[in-house]
Amino acid sequence: MSDFATLQSHAQRLDSTSIASLLHDDPARAQSLSLRVGPLYASFARQRYDAPALDALFALADAADFPGAMRRLLDGGTVNATEGRAALHTALRGDASDAQVARECAALAVQARTRMATLIDALSASDVTDIVSVGIGGSDLGPRLVVDALALPGARFRVHFLSNVDGNAAQRVLAGLDPAKTAAILISKTFSTQETLLNGRIVRDWLGDDARVYGVSANVERAAAFGIAPGRILPMWDWVGGRYSLWSAVGFPIALALGMDRFEALLAGAAELDAHVASAAPRANLAVWHALTAIWNRNALGLSTQAVLPYDERLKLLPNYLQQLVMESLGKSARLDGAPLGVDTVPVWWGGPGTDTQHSFFQALHQGTQVVPADFIGVVRSEDGHADNHRALLANLLAQTEALANGQASDDPHRAYAGSRPSTLLLLDALTPQSLGALIALYEHSVYLQSVAWGINAFDQFGVELGKQLASRLLPALEGKGGAEDPVTRALLAEILARQG
């Protein structure tokens, strides 16, 4: 029997076993299925697995050689096999590997940070008050999340983000900014992304001064050809995937918004998690637990979506960030050797911040026909000065996870809660650069380990290419030059052109 079939047989065995009864039979689960790593505490006690099912999951981790796979990642092995590359984001933030290539990459990252600090010093000494960061996908979501989570009022720079090619986005971001006091950073690993180039031109023209345009790219030639002076271009490398790149110079907006010290602290928090994942035995390894739980919910219980519910306003962009990290990494149907997978991969990730979401979609989580596993994320201490609110926030967080797990019987089917809706609770001691760095690194490693279990490549994204190619072919048609081959697109083009007049 395959490892996945074994998991399914455990799921069948547990078919009529509720989470409440698992807890009733083994009250020690609350402790035995929880882990602490640095500033993170994780409870898996409300997942719908028992000890034999967990044995099967850890056997799968053994069979897939999770520790060996983790070493390959950290040591710069060619984990991105379809593109023949390493994925050395861990080298951007620490020294989790003694391998020569990892050390060389870490040295490059340090050099880039030194240059970044120099640019920040120069900007700090100027009249610039606002920064517009232009990028999309991996060149936007990470910096946007971290800046939104950790920027403090009164910081030296206000940082704004522009990603969407929709001109309304540029209009909104630039409204109210003074071109004389604004600098722009164009972030693009390839420097060929349509959205970023179009928005970059808008911002450059609006600034009217090339001297305040900075670039971050692995393609320095293209960035220079755009008109950015080499001294204002910070490097990226092909050994860093876009969605794993916030630790590199892609984090320039983060360093501007938070200051270099807090950017370094973010990296240190991630490095601490790297060291844990690299050395902890599977049963004591937080990323292994998180990854195996995802495999259990997807492949044993067959759950096709996953919610992420941060109970902290500052983490409201985490679901957007994780959508790219998880779904672009794991949304694959072919094994590394090209063979079809035979098992399901990534569920649809979605979510939003609590408590707002309790008043929108939680009804479906509690009583809908689809069971949605959820990652709840809470912050123990808050420095916002509103202790009553924070207690209310935590009370709601605890209440929701309990209600989803335990449910409540009723003679009235409309008022009954089935319960047995699984969740993981991740608690951060406080929201700091360190703890956020650790949290993001946890998700990165969990994603990688899931890819190892499935035998897929977490570091390519060929699935996003076809639509881009079609869009560039259709551009002339929108100017009335040429048509489209597809009859539906042809009809739609005719409709659009006629209505545009």
Ligand X SMILES: O=P(O)(O)OC[C@H]1O[C@H](O)[C@H](O)[C@@H](O)[C@@H]1O
Residues engaged in binding ligand X (CB under 6 A): 136-139, 188-190, 193, 196, 242-243, 328, 461, 464
**Residue 480 burial class via C-beta count within 10 angstroms: exposed 0-12, middle 13-18, buried 19 and up:** exposed
Residue with tokens 């899931």: 450
Beta-ladder partners of 34: 43
Active site residue 468: yes
Tell me how far, at minimum, the Cβ of 263 lies from ligand X, in Å.
19
Which is nearer to ligand X, 324 or 357 (by Cβ)?
324
| Catalytic residue, candidates 316, 328, 332, 444 | 328
Tell me how far, at minimum, the Cβ of 325 lies from ligand X, in Å.
10
Which is nearer to ligand X, 97 or 193 (by Cβ)?
193
Tell me how far, at minimum, the Cβ of 399 lies from ligand X, in Å.
37
Give the number of other Cβ atoms within 10 Å of residue 414's Cβ. 6
Sheet order of strands, 233-235 included: 158-162, 130-134, 182-187, 213-217, 233-235
Could you say which DSSP state residue 326 is in?
I
Tell me how far, at minimum, the Cβ of 165 lies from ligand X, in Å.
12
Tell me how far, at minimum, the Cβ of 476 lies from ligand X, in Å.
21
Tell me how far, at minimum, the Cβ of 313 lies from ligand X, in Å.
26
H or E segment and range at residue 52: helix 51-63
Q: What angle do CA 136, 271, 384 make, to 5 degrees?
A: 70
Token digits of residue 217: 């790219």
How does strand 130-134 pair with strand 182-187? parallel
**Residue 60 burial class via C-beta count within 10 angstroms: exposed 0-12, middle 13-18, buried 19 and up:** buried
Active site residue 359: yes
* Cα atoms in the 13 Å half-sphere on the side-chain side of 216: 31
Which is nearer to ligand X, 138 or 251 (by Cβ)?
138
| Catalytic residue, candidates 359, 465, 479, 485 | 359
Secondary structure of residue 348 in the 3-state scheme: strand
Token digits of residue 208: 């009217």
Which is nearer to ligand X, 136 or 278 (by Cβ)?
136
Which is nearer to ligand X, 190 or 305 (by Cβ)?
190
Token digits of residue 36: 């602490």
Tell me how far, at minimum, the Cβ of 448 lies from ligand X, in Å.
16
| Helices (H), ranges, 260-322 | 260-279, 286-295, 318-322
Alpha-carbon span 163 to 175, nearest angstrom? 15
Active site residue 181: no
How does strand 34-37 pair with strand 40-43? antiparallel
CA distance to 63, 238, 456, per residue, from 244 (Å): 27, 11, 17
Could you say which DSSP state residue 346 is in?
P
What is the length of the chain?
501
Tell me how far, at minimum, the Cβ of 194 lies from ligand X, in Å.
9
Phi and psi based region of residue 241 (left: phi greater than 0; alpha: psi -120 to 50; beta: remaining): beta
Which is nearer to ligand X, 98 or 465 (by Cβ)?
465
Residue type, 85: R
Catalytic residue positions, numbered: 328, 359, 468
